[in-house]
Amino acid sequence: MENTNTLTFNNNLIAHVVQVHSFTALKAALHQLGFEQPRPTLALVGGASKISESDKNDLRHLFIEVIAPLAEQLGMAVVDGGTDAGIMQFIGQARTIIRATFPLIGVAAIGTVILPGVKSVNADAAMLEPNHTHFVLVPGSNWGDESPWLSQIGSYLAKGLPSVTIVVNGGEITWQDVAQSVKAKRPAIVLAGSGRTADKLAAALQGRGSG
């Protein structure tokens, strides 16, 4: 495990970053980031770059008016995929807009993100979302490689306190994220009407099929 570093974004916000190479190093890495006491945790999974334009405006308002204020009120840590797209962008921007203080931790496979001074070999690599407070960079070069790590980090942060997954919109990788949540015995709240995978899940849970 490497030491923690900081990133300063163009909005002048600073995030603390740590890279881990094994699941056994997670606990120590989170302690390095300052997470020594358990806290309720929200794992946020779902849509990234392929959210439709018609859904984006409604979802932005949802994060500003409901999800971010709720996380702040409950003193939660929020964990997501950390890139500057979709629901990760929405929760980051919402946190800043409402001047929240809850920690927002992005969990990303190192080969899928663009880092200062590091040449990316992945043509689809994405920028990190600049309103996050922390990032945990994990092994992998494909989208979805971060799924088990995100789930495990959510469990470590909660340490027996309540934790929940919220599913908003989503694509194929969201199915992996939901499966990881089930494996971790973390309840999932599926936001019906938010589009794509979330709507298919909601329909299946209601016995209506995916359409």
CATH at residue 40: 3.40.50.450
In this predicted model, what pLDDT tens digit does every residue of 45-96 receive, in sequence order?
999 989 999 899 999 999 999 999 999 999 999 999 999 999 999 999 999 9
Domain that holds residue 72: 5-205
Three-state SS string across 1-49, please? Answer: CCCCEEEECCCCCEEEEEECCCHHHHHHHHHHCCCCCCCCEEEEEECCC
Mean of all residue pLDDT scores within the chain? 93
Q: What is the pTM of this model?
A: 0.94
DSSP label of 63: I
Nearest to 88 by CA among 118, 52, 43: 43
At residue 185, the 3 state secondary structure works out as coil
Residue 208 has pLDDT above 80, yes or no: no
Mean pLDDT over 92-113 rounds to 97
Dmax (CA) of the chain: 50
Q: Are strands 14-19 and 5-8 parallel, antiparallel or unpaired?
A: antiparallel
Structural domain includes residue 168: yes
Rounded distance, CA 69 to CA 102, Å? 10
Lookup: tokens for 43: 């794992």
Structural domain includes residue 159: yes
Q: Residue 1: what pLDDT? A: 43
Residue 211 has pLDDT above 60, yes or no: no
Helix axes 172-183, 147-158, angle to 10 degrees: 40
CA angle 36, 43, 136 (to 5 degrees): 55
Structural domain includes residue 196: yes
Structural domain includes residue 211: no
In this predicted model, what pLDDT tens digit does every residue of 22-39 receive, in sequence order?
999 999 999 999 999 999
Residue 113 has pLDDT above 70, yes or no: yes
Structural domain includes residue 210: no
122: pLDDT confidence band, cut at 50, 70 and 90? Answer: confident
Which strand (E) or helix (H) includes residue 167? strand 163-168
Q: For the chain, how many residues are written? A: 211
- The structural domain count of the chain equals 1
